[in-house]
Amino acid sequence: MMLKVIGPRMKNCAGTGRRTFLSAGSLGFAFGGSGWTLPDLLRAEEKAGLSGSRKAVINIHLDGGPPQLETIDPKPDAPREIRGEFGPVQTSIPGLQISELMPRVAAAAQDFVFVRTLVGSDGRHHAFQCQSGFPETELAALGGRPAMGCTLSRLMGSPDDVVPAFVDLMQGRPLVRNSARPGFLGPSYQPFRPDLSGMFRRQLEPGMVNELKRLGTDQTVSLTLNASLSQTRLNNRRELLQGLDQIRRQVDASGMMDAMDRFQQQAVGILTSGEFARAMDLSQEDPEVVSRYTAPATGRGVQSATSEGPDCVRKFLLARRLVEAGVRCVSVSISDFDTHSANFSRMQNLVPIVDHGLAVLVEDLKQRGLLDDVTVVAWGEFGRTPRINDKNGGRDHWPRVGPALLAGGGMKTGQVIGVTDRIAGAPVSRPVHYKDVFATLYRNMGIDARQVTIDDPQGRPQYLLDDGQPLAELV
């Protein structure tokens, strides 16, 4: 479902000329079944003191699959063909070492949770499992499972919101593969997806170029109200459409017309408030803060054609500004960790950028009093092979185990969860499934994902998660 507000060519916040265009999810609430109903959820939220809170999730996808040995699980005693070229660095947590490529996170380790035993990857090269916890084949006949942000739009969004509940800032592979999709919730709950191409360069692999072309231009949005379209005119148009749709609504058994009404109401609020557009406009941020969110150029390693540079850290700044404006979930991607070749020179360039970004984001959230409310997760679709391939000096896909970092959300940070074997190839203790992480994220939002249900298109209640438990160590 889509509302387009079309007028003369205008500039979006990135300076990109295009016709103004809005694509948003209508925020309906009918759900039930054997789990909690919406009134149950709202009462629980109010009882927990979450009503009107700033609870939010920033979901950072390390596009391509990050290598565990070059991030948070170095194995200095392993043979060279396993441990690679980099050594460990001591963190601020006694006895905990991570890669020397992450000195800033190491210094701020008390604010992070290091999950070394992420399991359950379906081995697919996209971000969908990092968006939902499920493989893409789950409930495929009904449209598939929804991304967490789309679910939060369904549960926690409102037509009166002046910002969307879910904003997808992912580029590259996650954008092409439409990883942050609404699944069986339908297009009414798709994320707001701003066009970042004028702000951040991310060259696509040749095989993905045609995939993106087939998506067309409607997967990105520009949220600037046409200057010739006043709020009164927009309201009058909405009232006219509602009146014309009255007869159709009476015979509509799907509820789509009611969804359109709610969609139009939210679209009016978002467009006329300008809150979202302001949050996306980095020219309104303190230049000193913008500078902090730019990683220093180290001159080390090699930046691959599909990898981003030091300015990509500003995506984290956009995420902070969006949650500060009231967005419940923001997805971000950093590319490119798909290191089948030249793993060490590429990671020497890219991992310090991510290290800088994560440390600055968490520090900024803490300084602004947001860290207890905002949960940050950084992870990928799988880990990478312990053994370096002989041909290209790379690490290949390794779904058996991968790394993840968590911060904020009121969790007990400053700890490591899970132990891998001597080559970081398999869990020895405390495997953590993607669904366990999502159960934790939902819990931090005040939602018990094993109790709350939403109806699928056939009217059957589906639990937000069918498996997984919040990480007990973090409570």
Instruction: Could you list the beta-strand ranges (E) of 120-222.
Output: 166-168
Q: Does residue 285 contact residue 314 with C-beta atoms inside 8 Å?
A: no
Residue whose pair of structure tokens reads 């405390």 in the numeric block: 430
Q: What are phi and psi of 215, to 5 degrees?
A: -70, -25
According to the model, what pLDDT value does residue 80 have? Answer: 94
* DSSP conformation letters of 373-417: TEEEEEE-S-EE-SSPPTTTB---EETT-EEEEEEETT---SEEE
pTM reported for the whole predicted model: 0.84
| CA nearest to 318, candidates 440, 163, 179, 204 | 163
According to the model, what pLDDT value does residue 7 have? Answer: 30
According to the model, what pLDDT value does residue 200 have? Answer: 92
The pair of structure tokens assigned to 362 is: 């968490």
According to the model, what pLDDT value does residue 252 have? Answer: 53
Contacts of 453 (CB under 8 A, 6+ apart): 31, 32, 33, 34, 35, 36, 461, 462, 463, 464
Strands 453-455 and 461-463 come out as: antiparallel
Q: Does residue 65 contact residue 338 with C-beta atoms inside 8 Å?
A: yes
- CA angle, 356 then 360 then 365, to 5°: 155
| CA nearest to 295, candidates 312, 318, 316 | 312
According to the model, what pLDDT value does residue 28 have? Answer: 28
* DSSP conformation letters of 208-261: HHHHHHHH-STT-BB----TTS-HHHHHHHHHHHHHHTHHHHHT-SSSHHHHHH
The 3 state secondary structure assigned to 84-112 is: CCCCEEECCCCCCEEECCCHHHHHCHHHE
Q: Which domains does the chain have, with CATH numbers?
A: 37-185+276-474 (3.40.720)
Q: What are phi and psi of 247, to 5 degrees?
A: -65, -45
Per-residue pLDDT of the chain (475 residues; tens, 9 = 90+): 233 322 323 333 333 322 232 333 222 223 333 455 444 554 555 555 545 568 999 999 999 999 999 999 999 999 999 999 999 999 999 999 999 999 999 999 999 999 999 999 999 999 999 999 999 999 999 999 999 999 999 999 877 788 999 999 999 999 999 999 999 998 888 888 888 888 998 888 888 888 877 776 555 554 454 555 455 555 555 555 555 555 455 555 555 545 555 555 666 667 667 888 899 999 999 999 999 999 998 789 999 999 999 999 999 999 999 999 999 999 999 999 999 999 999 999 999 999 999 999 999 999 999 999 999 999 999 999 999 998 899 999 999 999 999 999 999 999 999 999 999 999 999 999 999 999 999 999 999 999 999 999 999 999 999 999 999 999 9
468: left (phi over 0), alpha (psi -120 to 50) or beta: left
Taking each continuous run of H as one helix and of E as one strand, the counts in the chain are 15, 18
The pair of structure tokens assigned to 209 is: 């170029």
- In angstroms, the Cα distances linking 213 to 284, 348, 405 are 33, 32, 33
Q: Residue 130 and residue 117: Cα distance in Å, rounded?
A: 15
Residue whose pair of structure tokens reads 């009058």 in the numeric block: 236
Q: Residue 113 and residue 474: Cα distance in Å, rounded?
A: 8
